[in-house]
Amino acid sequence: MGARSENERGDGSALPTPVMPPYRSESTNFASGYTPQTLIQDGVLERAVTLSPSSPGTSSDGEVSELPRATRPEDRYALRDLLGEGGMGEVRACTDMHIGREVAMKSMRAAQINRADLRTRFLREARIQGQLEHPAIVPVYDLGFHEEGALYFTMRRVRGETLEELVMKLRTGDSKALADYPQRKLLAAFSRVCLAVHFAHTKGVVHRDLKPANIMFGDFGEVYVLDWGVAKLLSKDAAPLSQGPNLEVSHLDFTEVNAAKTASGAIIGTPGYMAPEQILGQSAEVNAQTDVFALGAMLFEVLTHEPMFATGETPEVLSRTLKGEGRSAAARFPDKLIPEVIDAVCQRATSPYPEKRYTSARHISEELEAYLSGDLDAERRRSLAKKHALLAREAAGRALLPTGSIEDRQFALREVGRSLALDPEDPEALALLVRLVTAPPNEMPPDVVEEMASFEHRRGERAGRRGALLFALAAAIFVLPSAFFMGVRNPTFVAANVILWGLAPTAIFFGRKLPSWVSPVVAYAAVMSSAMIYGPFLSVPAIASVVTVAFVLTGRRSIRIFSVLLAILTLVLPVVLERVGVLPPSFAFEGDKLVILARAVSLPAFAGTVLLTVSHVAMVLFVAYYVAGSKDTLDRVEVQNRLQSWQLRQLVPQEAQGALKSHGRTPHSQRLPPPPKSANPDILD
């Protein structure tokens, strides 16, 4: 026999060219005049299948007794790899030869064919899943029998990884999983899961076994809710799914189904994701909020990569579930930076009491979407801002009293800062901040004391350098000329005067490294030695005044009084020593004249006039220098304070300036309104 072409029939005749049938409505009688067609994929006949229009027969109990040969799975589907198996059966990849696409086939086990309850459950799962037409629920394509009588149904072949697998990778730090699924992307995908579950609820279906292993993420952004095998049909008005004439589910008992991780005794579900009403076997209480609980438990796992009720023996997990222990992701995992608003959503969804949970899965989706869009986060931030502002106001009320403590002020400033960080435009919080910053505390904070000590040290060093320079100039202008340009009568007095004026700049320059009393003692000793040259009433009072001003303005606070006492001693001691005869007299009163007796140096008329004039002009300049420097410092401080106050006032919006003006006079109870009630009270609790 010669070779036969692929485009020939078995008898050698040519195959007819395939023609698409005309459009027919669902009421068309295909048995009258419909010509069978041959399906061709990509223009090449891979497997010629002739469709027969005949209808299958049915038995008296309503089950299919015979299928046309064209619909037998052995003719239509080419089985491939095993995808998974469980107590009810197995799932295999296969090729639909009619359509030419990859599908998944779920089949009953041969050993379960004679179990009427399991056949009913299998048929029930196929019909429930097939009627839930939603993008996140795997569609069912076909339902039928194998030749040996086992039920099967085919559905879309989905590819990807389950949430359980993904969480495991995230928990172990898988770099690719962390890059592909950041928290925002996971929350957005989980929001779509919630909407799919809510869709099922509107059709009167409760999944009852939601868990990470039953959530799949596709390779191209798809999200699927899998395994509706233990779903419960609710009696409700919202268009329930059709159960079929022979599908009685009200009396079904799933305790005989040995599905892995699904049934445990009389409990339907998976420990760690079952709601308390499932654990307690309260089947009448199982409703949409039961699935809400499971969604909340999965949301916890999305946030933390750890199960909510942890692992361990089943009784321990069930006990923790009933008690509602450890439902706060933020409290259990503070290092993971869990969003507070999402943590609150998770806690509300998993409340042990159904009446405290969200009433629908859509509410969870709305909360997630609101957070992702920033609305819920903004509301939460405003609410938290009010709480911090109230705490700040109470602490400020104590801090601004005469007996207010530094701790109260610190707490008030910290809380008002947190309030403004959350709500920068709150006028009352801004006014409170300005009030706190512009009102000085009753005592100096320790930190400020340290800063001031450091500032005083630096200022003292600068003042020491300036003082040493000025003393050196005074010595050059006032002291040295007396030794070299005027006649010396008492070398001892002149030498002592020159030496002390030479030591004074050195003592002042190194004053910070010496005991605090050394530099003022040496400086006033030098001034006092001038009284031995010109007497106590000529130039010495002016010099003593300049030195006193310098020490008071630039010296340490501890030596101010000491400097004044030394200045007085400088003026009084030479007079006393002259009166008791220790020093020779340097002045005398003759009638209405005060006569200066120059005992140590001569006083030529011209040289004396120049020296006294220059020295007194220098004194005026020195005093002006120190006073002007101090005034400049005060002016700078005043300007800085004014600028600081102005800048703080700019924090308050123009329309809220009235709150700033009245702040401090308005009673505390009237300044900040109570925080508004949230639409979700559990979010704020």
Task: Please tell me the distance from the alpha carbon of residue 417 to that of residue 392, in angstroms, as a whole number.
Answer: 9
**How far from the centroid of its chain's Cα atoms is residue 641's Cα?**
34
When pLDDT is cut at 50, 70 and 90, the band that residue 256 belongs to is very low
> How many alpha carbons lie under 13 Å from residue 65 in its C-beta half-sphere?
6
| Strand ranges inside 490-545, DSSP E | none
Higher pLDDT, 9 or 654: 654
For the ranges 244-253, 458-467, 591-600, the lowest mean pLDDT is seen at 244-253
pLDDT at residue number 483? 64
Structure tokens at 20: 């698409």
pLDDT at residue number 52? 39
Q: Which residues contact 614 (CB under 8 A, 6 or more apart)?
A: 477, 478
Mean pLDDT, rounded, of the chain: 76
When pLDDT is cut at 50, 70 and 90, the band that residue 311 belongs to is confident
In percent, the amount of the chain with pLDDT more than 90 equals: 22
pLDDT at residue number 71? 57
Structure tokens at 255: 């305790």
pLDDT digits (tens, 9 = 90+) for 613-641: 877 787 788 778 777 877 787 778 777 77
> How many alpha carbons lie under 13 Å from residue 310 in its C-beta half-sphere?
14
* Mean pLDDT, residues 434-458: 78
By the 8 A CB rule, do 412 and 436 touch?
yes
pLDDT at residue number 515? 84
Task: Please tell me the distance from the alpha carbon of residue 196 to that of residue 160, in angstroms, as a whole number.
Answer: 18
* Mean pLDDT, residues 296-318: 90
pLDDT at residue number 257? 30
pLDDT of 492 strictly over 60: yes
Count of CB atoms within 10 A of residue 296's CB? 24
Task: Please tell me the distance from the alpha carbon of residue 394 to that of residue 522, in angstroms, as a whole number.
Answer: 55
pLDDT at residue number 56? 45
Domains and CATH numbers, the chain: 1-53 (no CATH), 76-150 (3.30.200.20), 158-241+266-373 (1.10.510.10), 462-603 (no CATH)
Nearest to 627 by CA among 554, 567, 526, 678: 554
When pLDDT is cut at 50, 70 and 90, the band that residue 8 belongs to is very low
pLDDT at residue number 423? 85
When pLDDT is cut at 50, 70 and 90, the band that residue 661 belongs to is low
* Mean pLDDT, residues 6-30: 38
pLDDT at residue number 35? 37
Q: 670: buried, middle or exposed (CB in 10 Å: 19+, 13-18, 0-12)?
A: exposed
Residues linked to residue 264 through DSSP beta bridges, in sequence order: 267
pLDDT digits (tens, 9 = 90+) for 143-155: 888 877 788 999 9
Higher pLDDT, 306 or 438: 306
* Residue pointed to by tokens 């491939």: 80
pLDDT of 186 strictly over 90: yes
pLDDT of 158 strictly over 60: yes
pLDDT at residue number 235? 61
Q: Which residues contact 337 (CB under 8 A, 6 or more apart)?
A: none
Task: Please tell me the distance from the alpha carbon of residue 208 to that of residue 292, in angstroms, as a whole number.
Answer: 10
pLDDT of 440 strictly over 70: yes
Q: With b meaning 16 or more CB within 10 Å and e meaning fewer, what string describes 275-292?
A: bbbbbeeeeeebbbbbbb
pLDDT digits (tens, 9 = 90+) for 34-91: 333 333 333 333 333 333 343 444 444 444 444 444 457 778 899 988 988 876 788 9
DSSP 3-state of 142? strand
Task: Please tell me the distance from the alpha carbon of residue 229 to that of residue 246, in angstroms, as a whole number.
Answer: 17
How is the beta sheet containing 140-145 ordered, strand by strand? 77-85, 89-96, 101-108, 151-156, 140-145
pLDDT digits (tens, 9 = 90+) for 208-247: 999 999 999 988 889 999 988 888 888 644 444 444 433 3
Segment of 229-243, 391-405, 509-523, 644-658 carrying the highest mean pLDDT:
391-405
AA identity, residue 344:
A
For the ranges 330-344, 411-425, 606-620, the lowest mean pLDDT is seen at 606-620
When pLDDT is cut at 50, 70 and 90, the band that residue 541 belongs to is confident
Count of CB atoms within 10 A of residue 609's CB? 11
